Amino acid sequence: MARLIDTLAGRFGIIVFMIHVLLLPALYVGVDRIVTRSHEEMFVTEIRTYARVLADEFELGTAMESEPRTRALLENVLLSGEGVFAELVAGSEVLRSELDPQLRAGHFPGEDFAFGAGGDDIYFLSIPVVREEREAVLRIGFDERPVNAQIQRARTRILTSLGIFFVVSLGLAVYLGRRLARPLVELKQASRRVASGDMSTNLSTDSQISELRELTSDLETMRVALVDVGRRLREEMRERETTEKERTRLVDKLRQRQRLETVGTLAGGIAHEFNNILLPIQLYTELAIEELDEANPTRADLTRVLEGARRARRIIGDILAFSRHPEGDVFAPVAVATIAAEVAHVYEKLGKSGVNVVRAFESGCPMAIGEPTMLHQVLMNLCSNACQAMAGMTGQLLIGVRAASSAAARDAGLPPGAYVEVFVADEGRGMDEAIKARIFEPFFTTAPIGQGTGLGLSVVHGMVESMGGVVLVESVPGIGTTFRVFLRQAADVATQAAK
């Protein structure tokens, strides 16, 4: 509503509206008074003229010579259409029309000197009748309601006419306002097209108003002068924004790599020390078990110690795998789809109930550069993580391999080249941004105590990075999570080496 009022047409219409609101009531009151008075005066004049003619008939005619003639003339008053009372008073004798049942038993209330007097909707009038032999008074009454009805109809017509005049005037005002505002609207639309980037739009208008023509000419001059400046500024801002985003991404990536390398080095050193401690524990425990009888209760306790030592060595193996940084020469072309199919087969057979394993392997998918065992462990860890995310739920575990599109590789921040994309998607609980930012940190886990080491995804990250790839994660709480691993295509690496 405020936008409509603030327009030129709206303002013009409001001004006309206010003028009409102020003037039309006064005009209506004045016209109503004229119409009302004219109807009332016409009614009174006609009644008085009719009464005078009737009195002359009594004075000059033979109507008063006999009672039947007198009553007949009085009845003509009631038969005229609007007459409701008629009587002739001569001394103590009163003659009334027999067609007047309402006032027959009443009395004459007195003469009305104005229309509507008495509050009885009847205009009473008395006229003296003088004859040589006798004197009398003619009293008649006429119904005022038909005149009031005519006045009401006239008022309705006045209101209708004024309403039509008001609507037409307001419509014309709005139309004229729009006509006057059209050049400004055209100039505004052209300015918005320029502001949105369409620099080829000329600021022009066909208005005949000299002020508008001069304003348009000045704005067009400014547009031409500022187009080049605006273009240069946008290019500089775009380049600066791109550079800043790239710098931020590289800084974050460097910090993450440095943090992981530091943790990996520390974890590798600690893992070697613990490995040296666990080795004699495992060996002496195995020797002790062999020397004890199977019925000995200590044998069961030592078996549990041995299982704990083996589990600890497996964890140390994960830490060492995370901290390893193999050289690029150990990698070779790998059939990613074959390894993914083996992992899918394992989880089809051994996966949790309620988890439906679905394969999405692109036919003819190219080979990637990597190490089969490491890639196998990467996929096993990702699928294990997906199954844990769907614990106690039913859903779909999607394992897929395809040639990565250039757009996907560019979004992943990879250098130009051809890549193979391996993805594992689940319909589990998903992760929020705070958890997603830490999932690749060693020993970080959301699982309850005793159900996770926090090394699975960090090992995945380290192995993928060592193979020259990138791992990305996309997750929505309550919807699920998708891990995407990008590896260089073998053919692309060979082509680059040949150059």
Residue 269 CB partners (closer than 8 Å, separation 6+):
none
Residues of the chain with pLDDT > 90, as a percent, come to 8
Among the listed residues 327, 250, 329, the one whose alpha carbon sits nearest the alpha carbon of residue 493: 329
Mean pLDDT of the residues in the chain? 78
Q: How confident is the model at residue 328 (pLDDT cuts 50, 70, 90)?
A: very low
Which is more confidently placed, 447 or 460? 460
- Residue 164's pLDDT is 93
Instruction: Give mean pLDDT, residues 149-168.
Output: 91
Rounded alpha-carbon distances, angstroms, from residue 346 to 188, 247, 314, 357: 67, 42, 20, 10
Question: What is the structure's pLDDT at 318?
Answer: 61
Every domain range in the chain assigned CATH 1.10.287 = 234-324
Q: Does the structure show a pLDDT above 60 at 325?
A: no
Closest C-alpha to 446, from 477, 486, 412, 400? 477
Tell me if the domain spanning 234-324 has CATH number 1.20.140: no
Residue reference for tokens 């609980």: 429
Kindly report, residue by residue over 277-318, the tens digit of the pLDDT: 777 777 778 777 877 877 787 877 778 877 777 767 666 666
> CB-based burial of residue 248 (10 Å sphere; 0-12 exposed, 13-18 middle, 19+ buried)?
exposed
Residue 150 vs residue 290, higher pLDDT: 150
Cβ–Cβ < 8 Å for 125, 51: yes
pLDDT above 70 as % of the chain: 77
CA atoms within 13 A on the CB side of 160: 6
The values of phi and psi at residue 135, to 5°, are -120, 145
- CATH entry, 328-498, from 3.30.565.10, 3.90.226.10, 3.90.79.10, 3.20.20.70: 3.30.565.10
pLDDT of residue 105: 44
Alpha carbon distance 129, 58 (integer Å): 7
Are 470 and 420 within 8 A, CB to CB? no
The dihedral sign for the CA sequence 61, 67, 69, 71: positive
> How much is the pLDDT for 446?
64
Distance CA(345)–CA(351), nearest Å, equals: 9
**What mean pLDDT is predicted for residues 438-450?**
67
pLDDT value, residue 465: 83
Q: What is the pLDDT of residues 103-130, one digit of tens each?
A: 544 567 788 888 888 778 888 888 888 8
Q: Which residues of 73-111 are buried (b: 16+ CB within 10 A; e: fewer)?
A: bbbbbbeeebbbbbbbbbeeeebbbebbeebeeeebeee
Q: What is the pLDDT of residue 46?
A: 87
Between 53-67, 250-264, 426-440, the lowest mean confidence (pLDDT) is in: 250-264
pLDDT at position 443 is 66
Residue 96 contacts by C-beta under 8 Å, 6 or more apart in sequence?
71, 74, 86, 87, 103, 104
pLDDT in tens, 363-403: 888 889 888 888 888 888 888 888 888 888 888 899 999 98
Q: pLDDT category, 239, cuts 50, 70, 90?
A: confident
161 pLDDT higher than 50: yes
pLDDT score at 6: 64
Residue extent(s) of CATH 3.30.450 domains in the chain: 2-167
State the CB neighbour count (10 A cutoff) for residue 164. 10
Residues with Cβ within 8 Å of residue 391, at least 6 apart in sequence: 352, 428
Q: Which phi and psi (to 5°) does residue 421 adopt?
A: -110, 125
167-192 per-position pLDDT tens digit: 898 888 888 877 777 777 777 777 77
Say if residue 326's pLDDT is above 60.
Answer: no
Give phi and psi for 447, each to the nearest 5.
-75, 155
- Tell me the mean pLDDT in the region 210-220: 72
CATH of domain 2-167: 3.30.450
**pTM of the predicted structure, to 2 decimals:** 0.41
Average pLDDT over residues 269-281: 67
**Alpha carbon distances (Å) from 100 to 78, 91, 305:** 8, 21, 130
Say which DSSP state 489 is in.
Answer: B
For 394-443, what is each residue's pLDDT tens digit? 888 999 999 888 788 777 778 888 899 999 999 988 888 888 877 877 66
Could you please report the per-residue DSSP string of 160-211? HHHHHHHHHHHHHHHHHHHHHHHHHHHHHHHHHHHHTT-TT---------HH
Please list the residues that pair with 472 across neighbouring strands.
Answer: 484
Residue 496 has pLDDT above 50, yes or no: yes
Task: Give the pLDDT confidence score for residue 452 in this predicted structure.
Answer: 55
